[in-house]
Amino acid sequence: MLVTKRNMRKSLLSLALLAASHSTWAQVQGVVRDENGQPITNATLDIVGSNQQIHTNMRGEFSVPPYGTGKIELHVKAPAFMHKTFHLPQGDKTHELVLGGTAMEVVNVVGLPWHASNIESAQPVSVLSGDQLRDRQATTLGETLKNEVGVHSSYYGPVSSSPIIRGLEGPRVLIAQNGLDAGDASRVGPDHAVATEASTARQIEILRGPATLFYGSGAIGGVVNVVDDRVPQGLDTYGEWRLEQDSVADDKLISASGNTGVGNIGLHLDGFWRESDDYKIPGAAEVETHAEHEAEGHADHNEDRLANSAAQAEGFNLGTSYILDTGFVGLSYGHLEREYGIPGHGHDDEAVDVYADLKQDRVQFLSELTLDHTLFSALNTRFGFTDYEHSEIENGAVGTTFNNESQEARLDFFHHPIADWRGALSLHYKHADFSALGEEAFTPPSDTSTLAIALMEERHLGDLLVQLGARIEQVKTSADNIQIDLDEHHHDEEEHGHEEDQLSIFSIDQESTPISASAGLVWDFTPGYNLAFSYTHAERAPSAAELFSFGPHIGSGLYEVGALLRVVEDEPGEFHFDLVRTDAELETSNNIDLSLRKFEGDFGFILNAFYNSIDNYYYLADTGMTKESAHGHDETSEEEHNHNSDLPVYIYQAQDARLHGFEAEFIWQLSAPLKLTFTSDYIRAKLDDGGDLPRIPPLRVGARGEYEIGNWRAELSGQYYFEQDQTAALETSTDGYTLIDAQVSYYISDDLKVFLKGHNLTDQYARVHSSFLKDKAPLPARSFAVGISGNFLVEKNVSGRCMVCEIIS
């Protein structure tokens, strides 16, 4: 029997070699080697313009089946090596492809329409994946990413921090899940949590600078794309799990995820649970006295903890796919529940228990298929449906409920090369039905629809890569129930026919046509280096909250007024609101990025400089007025639950602004076990008419050392935040501070490790300048976390196919 099996294998191998020698069976074949001539095993070769992928065998050999006509473009990648694109003529010739080693972390970016890594893109991109992602994950997305260059956290306590990219946040930074809008309410207010989870993600991608070409006008400041495997793309069996506990808030985490395949069906399941108490504040004596602590909204019997900073969350995702030779078609369902405190909220000297109760259901359909078509080579399809709700609950009574029901569809048609240009035609539709109902609903129910078409192209000209793109979209935003008290809004009673004690109710429709265009160049001017340049013209329709807001906003502590209203001062100290009689202007960004990268060898760096000129920049401006805010939660106990406080009135204004800065990252593999990393970033943001934009992060420098020997790995890192004294009107400066973190891991086996982490080891008292709560919610005290994590992988070739099968297919 053994002899028979060996003879069968020899016959199959002979057949494979015969097929490989015939041009009709294998048009391109070769070997992938390193700079020393050694073969690279299991390197991945993506056939650009299709969804096909092949791998090298133990000898680094590969064979590409017939594909199109003319040259084949291959994007080749392997761990610890620089990714590289090759253009190979089809025929019998055997090609030798050489990859250079690198100390940089090189990861393919899923959120871009073309095959590119973070080192090859014309636009600056950061990717957090693998062990780095697991080691840095936190309870919120903003805290997970805050140490990435160009990224800071809005830090609304540890419960709802969002990423800030180059000083921009909110409706300018899109949070995406597998390329589709997360569909939550986090872009509306700083106290609204992002409905994603880092503990089950495969990688998190940060596109710095305008990404409207790919994602629409909501991405004029950048994109954070959370990528997971909820829709399987293969049949391999793999997974991971993690248990962790942190001391600063008794934060506990359990997470697990896994994929497998049965026949041609891919299956996925993941889930997580986390819980934390109110967190400890460093140097409690530096905060306030207990009475002052409560007056500022820190309603807690423990002076060394931040009140209303506890959280609990759980969720799961189920997914399945049908795996084809030409790609996959898959569907997933996810459910998320999160209950978290809202710190910094109080009424006079009364202790107030405030928290949010969030629920989200999400369905995603993803498909990537290679097409046998004369014009199009591949079709990528994404559909998403999200039903989101969160209620803000004060002293046990629901105050405000936010709902967001959204649908999104995107189809990318990749075409065959036309005069060596490769690219895709993209169709994109998105609809969001948003409402906020209750005592502190500061924005009326609104409906926003977007329909767009985009074209993205790229071409290699020797050592130069050219990328071009354009997008046009139609955005319709409407609100049918804008209510303004008449004692705040004076108008011609005869024209409107209202009595003085009634509300005036408005219906407003806004329609705009944002246009975006971009051009990018990547020049490999010498081996191991490249120079990247990108220019983007991007337009953004203002969000519903920026247009229609009117009322007290618990998250910002402001009385917010939208851009379609204006404040009219009658006499000193007295004012009223009126409608603006003109349409809202589009926000327009003209952004330039210049990057220099060294990526081969033991020393590498990435240097980025950017300049962003924004016309009609929408921001909340202080009017100098205050408005009484009153709300109640119990009709039978009005005296007990009604609270009155004067809030500063801020109104959305559109003014021209200029933002510029730099990002730098140096990586030095000093020796086999020791790696050093140095980072820095800086943002300067000013209004053309004078003055600075509010809550802009300060200059920052950081350093990290990683030492790995045997089964041990240790890491020590530090970040120094300079003082921020370039502040907006009525904004206070923020002192500088230093944060020191450390981690030690021991690998019990290749797939099992235990770890100990320490954060803020010097117990530094620090306030985050970009936070609305900087004077109420300092960063957590010194903490230690202990945990264990593991992973598993059942070895199998892609889609369960052997190398011989790949050759003769």
Question: What's residue 277's pLDDT?
Answer: 95
Question: What CA–CA distance (Å, rounded) separates 671 from 132?
Answer: 20
Q: Please, which pLDDT band fits residue 445 given cuts at 50, 70 and 90? A: confident
- Alpha carbons 704 and 679: distance in angstroms, whole number: 9
Mean local confidence (pLDDT), 783-802? 75
| DSSP SS3 for 248 | coil
Q: What is the torsional sign of CA 500, 502, 507, 510?
A: positive
- pLDDT tens digit sequence for 579-616: 787 778 999 999 999 999 999 999 999 999 999 999 99
pLDDT at 683 over 60: yes
The answer to which of 91-100, 501-510, 573-582, 654-663 has the lowest mean pLDDT is: 501-510
Please check the confidence at residue 187 and state whether its pLDDT lies above 90: no
Please give the Cα distance from 504 to 486 (Å, whole number).
Answer: 6
Q: Cα–Cα distance between 524 and 718 in angstroms, integer?
A: 33
The residue behind tokens 């002192």 is: 735
Q: What angle do CA 651, 652, 657 make, to 5 degrees?
A: 130
With CA atoms as reference, report the closest residue to 318 among 238, 404, 259.
259
Q: Is the pLDDT of residue 289 over 70?
A: no
Which token pair is 268?
């996925």
Out of 113-117, 243-247, 347-351, 495-499, give the one with best mean pLDDT. 243-247
Binned at pLDDT 50, 70 and 90, residue 620 comes out as: confident
Q: Does residue 699 have a pLDDT over 50?
A: yes
pLDDT value at position 569? 79
Mean pLDDT of the residues in the chain: 85
Confidence of residue 108 (pLDDT cuts 50, 70, 90): confident
Higher pLDDT, 283 or 3: 283
Q: How far apart are alpha carbons 473 and 597 in whole angstroms?
A: 34
The whole-number pLDDT of residue 7 equals 46
- Contact present, 76 and 84 (Cβ < 8 Å): yes
**Tens-place pLDDT, residues 386-398:** 999 999 888 888 8
For residue 508, which amino acid is it?
I
Residue 2 clears pLDDT 70, i.e. is over it: no
The pLDDT score that the predictor gives to residue 24 is 40
- Per the DSSP assignment, residues forming a β-bridge with 593 are 534, 610
Read off the pLDDT of residues 621-650 as tens digits, 9 standing for 90 and up. Answer: 888 888 876 554 444 444 444 455 778 888
Residues 305-319, mean pLDDT to the nearest whole number? 94
Locus of tokens 């620090």:
766
Q: What is the mean pLDDT of residues 467-473?
A: 95
% of the chain residues with pLDDT over 70:
86
89 against 272, higher pLDDT: 272
Residue of 381, 110, 332, 79 whose CA lies nearest to 227: 110
Query: What pLDDT does residue 802 have?
Result: 37
Q: Are 694 and 556 contacting, i.e. CB atoms less than 8 angstroms apart?
A: no
Helix or strand (DSSP H, E) at 31: strand 28-33
Looking at 132-146, 164-178, 447-461, 476-490, which range is the least confident one?
476-490
Mean pLDDT of 100-105: 86
The pTM score is 0.87
Q: Is the pLDDT of residue 751 over 90?
A: yes
Kindly state the tokens that stand for 64: 């590409």
| Max avg pLDDT among 179-193, 286-300, 343-357, 747-761 | 747-761
Mean pLDDT lowest for which of 309-313, 341-345, 437-441, 595-599? Answer: 437-441
Residue 526 has pLDDT above 90, yes or no: yes
Q: Give mean pLDDT, residues 95-109.
A: 87
* Secondary structure of 58-101 in HEC code, one letter for each residue: CCCEEEECCCCCCCEEEEEECCCECCEEEEECCCCCEEEEECCE
CA distance 198 to 227: 9
Q: Which pLDDT does position 335 carry in this prediction? A: 97
**Cα distances (angstroms) measured from residue 56 to each of 78, 97, 98, 323:** 10, 11, 13, 21
User: CB count, 10 Å around CB of 704?
Assistant: 17
7: left (phi over 0), alpha (psi -120 to 50) or beta: alpha
pLDDT of residue 809: 31
Residue 799 has pLDDT above 60, yes or no: no
Whether pLDDT at 806 is above 70: no
- pLDDT at residue 576, as a whole number: 79
The pLDDT score that the predictor gives to residue 503 is 57
**pLDDT value for 480:** 79
Comparing 174-183, 322-331, 441-450, 555-564, which segment has the lowest mean pLDDT? Answer: 555-564
Question: Do the bridges between strand 44-47 and strand 53-55 make them parallel or antiparallel, or are there none, so unpaired?
Answer: antiparallel
Name the least confident of 469-473, 569-573, 697-701: 569-573
Q: What is the pLDDT of residue 213?
A: 86
The per-residue pLDDT for 484 is 67
Instruction: Give residue 180's pLDDT band: very low, low, confident or very high (50, 70, 90).
Output: very high
Q: Is 383 helix (H, G, I), strand (E, B) or coil?
A: strand
Residue 321 near residue 231 (C-beta atoms within 8 A): yes
